[in-house]
Amino acid sequence: MTSYVTEPTRETPVLGEWEVVVLGGGPAGLAAATAAARAGRSTLLVEKGGYLGGAGTGGGLSTFCGMYSNVHGEHVLTVRGHATELLERIDRLGGLRAPHLSFADRIQAQAYDIPAYRSAADEHVLAAGAQLLYHAFAVGAITGPSGIEAVVVESKSGRGILRGQVFIDSSGDGDLMAWSGTGHEKADPYGDMLFPSTMFRINAVDDERAGPAWKTLPRLMDEAVAAGRPRFPRRGAIVRPQRDAIEWRANATQLRNPDGSAVDGTDVWQLTHGEVQGRAQAQEVFGFIRENHPGFERSYIVDIGPEIGIRETRRLLGRYVLTEDDVRSCARFEDSIGLNGWPVEAHVDGDLDIRWPYGDDPVGYNQLPYRVLVPSEGPGNLLVAGRCASMTHGGQSAARVAGPCFAMGQAAGTAAHLALKARSTVAEVDTGELRAELEEEGACLTL
Ligand SMILES: Cc1cc2nc3c(=O)[nH]c(=O)nc-3n(C[C@H](O)[C@H](O)[C@H](O)COP(=O)(O)OP(=O)(O)OC[C@H]3O[C@@H](n4cnc5c(N)ncnc54)[C@H](O)[C@@H]3O)c2cc1C
C-alpha cells in the first residue's frame, strides 16, 4: 500500500516560452526540433541526458535500421530529407559505415560511431536554429482549456516551467501524453511488451579470424545449450563489426523481472534491476564469445550501453493505429508522411522473431499515416512521434527503429509549424500542405 505526503505549495520559475517544445532528443525528437526550427518556429528541445540520439547513443545501439527498404529485391533508401543531412554530418566526422545486409541478408542497416552521432546531432539541431536544454528531466505537464500549457522540468538548477504553444512528445515512453491525460496503452492484449536489452561493444577483434561471426555465433550458442550449457539470456544474438572491424557491437541480452515479464521502462525499480542484470548478462555472453569463437581471444568489452535499451512502453491511441498487418501487407495511406521498410522485429521471451512482409515479391515498405502522430482524444496541441506513436504492439515492433522515427519526427515538427500558421489544432492540419512541405524538404513519402 503506497503512502503519500502532501508537498507544500511553491512558486516555480518560468524558464521561457517557445512556439514549439519538443520532449526527448532521440531520432524522433531531434528530427522534430530540426523541422520546426527550420520552418522558422522558436523551438526548444528538452533532453534528460547530455547529448542527442536517444537509445541510438544513450542505449549504445550504433546502427541505423529502417533507413532502407527491400523493394522487390532492390535496397532503396526510403528515409530521406533531414535525416540524410544528419547522416552526411556523421559521415563527414568519419563515423558512418557503408550499409550492410542484416537478418538473412534481406534488409540493409548502417553502423555508426556513437561519439560522431552525438557531435553531428548537436550541430544538426543547432544549425536549424533550435535551442537545446540538456540535463532537464521533464516531470509533469500543466494543462488548461486550450490543451497543454507547459512542461515542468527538474534539473540541477531546480524546478522550472517551459511554456509552449505546440508540444511534441518524443520521449519514447510517452511521458507527456501520460501526464496530460492523453489516451494511450501499454503492452499487448496479453500484457506483454518487447523485452529490453543492454548493448555492449567488443574491441581488439581479429576480424579475419572472426569471419562472418554474426552467422556462426548464434549456431555455436544453440549447440552449447543443446550440449547442456544453461540457456543464454536469449537466442538470436546479433554480433557485427563496426566501422573499423577491430570493434564489434553485440545485441545479445534480454532483461526480465523475477516473474519472467519484460522489464518496464516506466518503473524505476524495474529499470534499476534491469541495469544490473544487463551488465551481468553482457559479461556472461562476452565470456562465451571470447572463449568459443575464433578471432575474439584477445578481445575485451570496450563499452556497455550507458543506459538499458527500452524498446516499448506506452503507445499513443491516435487517430489511426498502425498494425502489424499494415506493416506486413505494405499498407498505403493518403496522408502518408514517410515510409517504414523494417520488418517486425519481435523481442519475445528468450528469442528474436523476425516477420517479413507477406508474399514472395513484396513492395517492401509501408507508408506511415500522419494520423499515428495525432491523439484521438486529448490536447489539440500535442503531437506524439517515435516509438510511442500510435501503433499496436506488432506494428511498433517494426516502425520503432531509427529510420521511421526520423520520418515521424520531421513530420511532427512540420505539422506543429502548420498548426501554428493556421491557428488550428494539430488534427486540423491540412495533410496535403504537410506532405508538400515534407517533399520540399526532401522526405520520401512514396516511391
Ligand atoms: C537494445 C535496443 C537495440 C536497438 N537496436 C536498434 C538498431 O540497431 N537500430 C535502430 O534503428 N533501432 C534500434 N532500436 C530501436 C530504437 O529504440 C529506436 O530506433 C529509437 O531510438 C526510438 O526513437 P525515439 O526517438 O522514439 O525514442 P528514444 O530513442 O527512446 O529517445 C527518447 C529520448 O527522450 C529522452 N527522455 C525520455 N523521457 C524524458 C523525460 N521525461 N525528460 C527528458 N527527456 C526524456 C530520453 O533520454 C531519450 O533521449 C533498438 C532498441 C533497443 C532498446
More confident site: 398 or 447 = 398
Mind listing the pLDDT tens digit for each residue in 399-447? 999 999 999 999 999 999 999 999 999 999 999 999 999 999 999 999 9
Phi, psi of 252 (to 5 degrees): -145, 5
Tell me whether strands 100-102 and 107-111 are parallel, antiparallel or unpaired.
Answer: antiparallel
Provide the grid cell at 382: 500535442
Nearest atom of ligand 1 to the alpha carbon of 27: 25
In 3D space, the residue among 215, 197, 200 whose CA is nearest the CA of residue 283 turns out to be: 200
Closest C-alpha to ligand 1, atom 5: 61
**Alpha carbon distance 306, 60 (integer Å):** 7
Instruction: Determine whether the shortest distance from the Cβ of 56 to ligand 1 is under 6 A.
Output: yes
CA of 29 to the centre of ligand 1 (A): 10
Mind listing the pLDDT tens digit for each residue in 12-24? 999 999 999 999 9
Total residue length of the chain: 447
Read off the pLDDT of each residue in 378-403 and give the average, rounded to a whole number. Answer: 97
Provide the grid cell at 225: 545449450
Instruction: Determine whether the shortest distance from the Cβ of 410 to ligand 1 is under 6 A.
Output: no
Q: Which residues contact 64 (CB under 8 A, 6 or more apart)?
A: 56, 87, 109, 110, 111, 112, 402, 403
End-to-end distance of the chain based on CA atoms, in angstroms? Answer: 55
Closest C-alpha to ligand 1, atom 14: 401
Whole-number average pLDDT of the chain: 97
Closest C-alpha to ligand 1, atom 27: 172
Read off the pLDDT of each residue in 27-33 and give the average, rounded to a whole number. Answer: 98
* Mutational pocket test of ligand 1: of 47, 107, 239, 263, the residue with most ligand atoms within 8 Å of the beta carbon: 47
Q: Specify the range with the lowest mean pLDDT, choosing from 31-45, 240-254, 313-327.
A: 240-254
Nearest atom of ligand 1 to the alpha carbon of 305: 1
Closest C-alpha to ligand 1, atom 16: 401
In 3D space, the residue among 306, 289, 300, 245 whose CA is nearest the CA of residue 115 turns out to be: 306
DSSP 84-130: HHHHHHHHHTT-BPPPEEETTTTEEEEEB-HHHHHHHHHHHHHHHT-
For residue 1, pLDDT over 90 is answered with: no
How far, CA to CA in Å, does 417 sit from each of 10, 23, 65, 200, 284?
A: 34, 16, 28, 39, 49
Instruction: Determine whether the shortest distance from the Cβ of 55 to ligand 1 is under 6 A.
Output: yes
Cβ 242 vs Cβ 251: under 8 Å: no
Instruction: Determine whether the shortest distance from the Cβ of 199 to ligand 1 is under 6 A.
Output: yes
Nearest atom of ligand 1 to the alpha carbon of 49: 47
CA of 76 to the centre of ligand 1 (A): 24
**Alpha carbon distance 35, 409 (integer Å):** 8
3-state secondary structure of 258: coil
The upper half-sphere exposure of residue 193, i.e. CA atoms within 13 Å in the direction of its Cβ, equals 25
Mind listing the pLDDT tens digit for each residue in 45-69? 999 999 999 999 999 999 999 999 9
For residue 114, pLDDT over 90 is answered with: yes
CA of 212 to the centre of ligand 1 (A): 28
Mind listing the pLDDT tens digit for each residue in 228-272? 999 999 998 999 998 889 999 999 999 999 999 999 999 999 999
Instruction: Determine whether the shortest distance from the Cβ of 47 to ligand 1 is under 6 A.
Output: yes
For residue 104, pLDDT over 90 is answered with: no
Q: Which residues contact 260 (CB under 8 A, 6 or more apart)?
A: 349
**Alpha carbon distance 415, 319 (integer Å):** 15
How many contiguous H segments (helices) and E segments (strands) does the chain have?
Answer: 12, 22
3-state secondary structure of 20: strand
CA of 53 to the centre of ligand 1 (A): 7
Closest C-alpha to ligand 1, atom 52: 309
For residue 199, pLDDT over 90 is answered with: yes
Q: Which domains are present in the chain?
A: 14-190+312-440 (3.50.50.60), 200-304 (no CATH)
Sign of CA dihedral 400, 96, 308, 25: negative
Nearest atom of ligand 1 to the alpha carbon of 175: 41
Nearest-10 Cα torsion for 57, 170, 186, 275: 20
CA of 400 to the centre of ligand 1 (A): 9
